[in-house]
Amino acid sequence: MEHKLKSVLSGTGFYLLLAVCLIAAAVSGWYLLFAGDKPAEEEAPPTEAVSAPARDVYVPQPEPEPEPEPDEQEPTVETAAPVEVEIVPAMPETEVDDTPVMAEPPQLIVEPLKGEVLMAFSVDQLVYSPTLADWRTHDGVDISAKPGTTVLAATAGTVSSVEDHPLMGTTVTIDHQGGYTTTYSNLQAKPTVEPGDLVTAGQIIGAVGATASAEAAQSPHLHFSVTRDGEAVDPGEFLKS
């Protein structure tokens, strides 16, 4: 065997073997060169089909349906939530006094005149009267003054009377608010006011005279008295109010 192998490798056999090897190497190289670079289109198609690029195809679209016109509805009016009202029991009807109320100015009081008091007010004790020569009450105050001295209304009011009193002489009486009445006696014969006249505080109503026969024994003076609802009131207290 070894001898045959030597005979083959020597001489012509060697060259034949070499040629076969070269051919085999050449075939292997050609296969590797050309079979590996085979074009892609010769390869087997992939299992999944390749779709052709899409073309722009016009597909008619359905026309949109017209929107329904809104129904004309009456505007809604929001109603307020109900309010709970407390029911107050009715009060019994009472008679209404519809007499108009007149505003009255504040009462201003002044002294009818200034002078010395000859005889004070006294209704609780008797005082002696030099003219009548007896003891009696004295419902006013006698204020000394010269004849002709002006006498003023002590406060605003209405002249209720002007008279010639048999004992107290010429006398003017004035009614005032609050039930008060002032009286001015022993005046001159003709006062400056008449019944019904409205007078103000400090208005001249007459002058000091000598007409009071019941007080003729005294020096000239004004007899001034005050009543409230017919009851005698101390003139000194009235003038201070």
Residue pLDDT, tens place only, 182-221: 999 999 999 999 999 999 999 999 999 999 999 999 999 9
DSSP one-letter code for 128: E
Higher pLDDT: 106 or 241? It is 241
- For the beta carbon of residue 163, count every other beta carbon within 10 angstroms: 13
Joined tokens for residue 146: 């010269």
Distance CA 202, CA 111 (A): 8
Compute the C-alpha angle 141/146/148, nearest 5°: 105
Burial of 233 (0-12, 13-18, 19+ CB in 10 A): buried
Q: How many residues does the chain have?
A: 241
pTM beyond 0.85: no
Radius of gyration of the chain (CA): 73
Residue 40 has a pLDDT of 45
Look at the alpha carbons of 234, 238, 239, 241 in this order and tell me if their dihedral is positive or negative: positive
